[in-house]
Structure 1
Amino acid sequence: MKIELRDLCKTFDKKSNAINHLNIEINDGEFISLLGPSGCGKSTTMLMLAGIYKPTGGSILFDNRSVGDLEPQRRNIGMVFQSYALYPHMTVLENIAFPLKQMKVPKAERLTRAKQAAAMVRLDSFLDRKPSELSGGQQQRVALARAIVKKPSLLLLDEPLSNLDARLKIEMREEIRKLQKELGITTIMVTHDQEEAMTMADRIALMKDGELVQYASPMELYNNPNSYFVAQFIGTPPMNFLQGNIRVNGDTIDFGMQNKTIPFKNTHVLFERENQGVYLGIRPHDLKVGADGDLSFQGIVRFVEPLGHSILVSVEIENAMVRVLTNPHFTASYGENVTISTQVDSVQLFDALTGRSLKLGEKDRIFV
């Protein structure tokens, strides 16, 4: 099912908009994540999709049909809640079959379909157990099977993995994604965890203060963030930022920190203001210890974190802390002076005033 949100608005009082003119298109069979910090409006958006909240303005379309006045039970939606919301007095089989019982599906058919849904999530041998006899991951599977048993056109996942430990999260990410692809159900997941969104979604709608900030594939968000907010929200470890000023000097940009000059070629330059304040952003894995790159900085080692396959080194540069992912053979210790470097093509620039990306290193797209 194709989903469209057109100028969607939701106001709970006259002073502020929980959702402000939200426009999103979701293709049939696509897995979308609504991502953002607490209070950004992602859960409010999901509840409007489910029909629990009524929009203040705009429209919601399912396959080009407006569903603004359609009651929740008539929207053919499956929903998995953060708390799982299982009935403690019912068995696994009874929990899964319950939506079909409400739909007055004949008993024999609903039991058959419930067993089929249980098999999809590997619960065949747990059908007679009560929820209290299950692990967290098994309870999550029951909730998922209950959501898909009625063959919904739209699957809504509300923070589905937040109650699981780290290892179970990885397993359930894989299982949910595999099941969604096999069934071809259009799926929308709400999460504040960018790692969940990056690993599971086809596209991510990143939200802030009730508005859509950027809507793109996980790698597009990671590689080409359109603003400082997106750049600092997406990525683990997060992007490093050095604050300074820039001015154009011939075919270079002078960066006002440690007197660095950044070369650029074949670009059209638009001046916005003299001595413009910027954030220079660099991903930790794009930095190296040593002066091998064409842009380098001097700093002091402040923290070393062994990660097994690599080492995360925190280096103090003037008043900023910069993290570098380096190889496990790194030997410098606390207080030592080091040089770190990167290639100019790996650097991002963001306007310190507006936060928007200045696209450093991308041909014909440098703006200063």
Structure 2
Amino acid sequence: MKKLINNPDDVVKEAMAGMALAHPDLITVDLENQIIVRKNAPIRDKVGIISGGGSGHEPMHGGYVGYGMLDAACPGAVFTSPVPDQMLAATHAVNGGKGVLHIVKNYTGDVMNFEMSAELADAEGIQIASVITNDDVAVQDSLYTAGRRGVGVTVLLEKIVGGYAEAGASLDQVVALARKVNDHGRSMGMALTSCTVPAAGKPTFELGENEMEIGIGIHGEPGRRRTKLTNADDITETLITPILEDLQLKNGESVLALVNGMGGTPLIELYIVYNALQRILKGKAISIARSLVGNYITALDMAGCSITLVRLDDELLKYWDAPVHTPALRWGR
């Protein structure tokens, strides 16, 4: 294992300390409670939005804390859910009196711990709502989930819903929009290599020189099948076909497209995938109205990619385009 770390047990706290020093104008870091909070939180009369999950998926979620996106993030240990006390501390930190939304990826530990923290907050009189993302079309159940996994749509949802909350929407309105984004989005990923968890010191699984894993999760869990390595055009076709089938997109519709790197894939390769994606969708009379290409929801150092599509309408486009300023995303401000 070759990594830029010190003690594997200190990886998360040292990374959080580095984030605080790198972005003092955007975030504050509470190392005791292990949460990342928007600089001026809580904001009076604004719905607070928090999310969280195991570390190792950076920039998600801490990189999305700031104006127009999340108000706080709760990082757990690598690939391990944060605990309810973290989530409750984050809820307190962002509660501006208009309620707090928890955005939860559909992983068993995340769902259970966010439910516990919501019950604790509700008992204190804080208005809480939760939305679970479950956009992965690769498998119905996995090692970490009951039902579909929450993956790339989570990032896009946080941006769109964050823009809506910034505009003054109520908690009920924010929840409705979040559910709409989740319903309109689907994802699928693949791996060329495994990832190496610092505490383990060895790859999570083995792939042969001429093998790839189709439908992996963001923790390196297995997907639909292991198959022979092929070229970028074929890989893109393999990933996008079940997404299109599930979304049932029609001629003339437009989408928000995310071509996401899993942490160890060069950007040049991701643009090759995006080129193939654009060509495939154009052939089906589906237009890409907005896009992101890069590492946005990763699995440590895994080589591979995922594709996410969200069916767009005027409302989703409006709040996607709304200003955002976080460590990982910035436009319009």
Global fold match (TM > 0.5): no
TM-score, scaled to structure 2: 0.27
Q: Which has the higher strand share?
A: 1
Higher relative contact order (CA 8 A, sep 6+): 2
Q: Which has the higher helix share?
A: 2
TM-score, scaled to structure 1: 0.25
Structure whose alpha-carbon radius of gyration is higher: 1
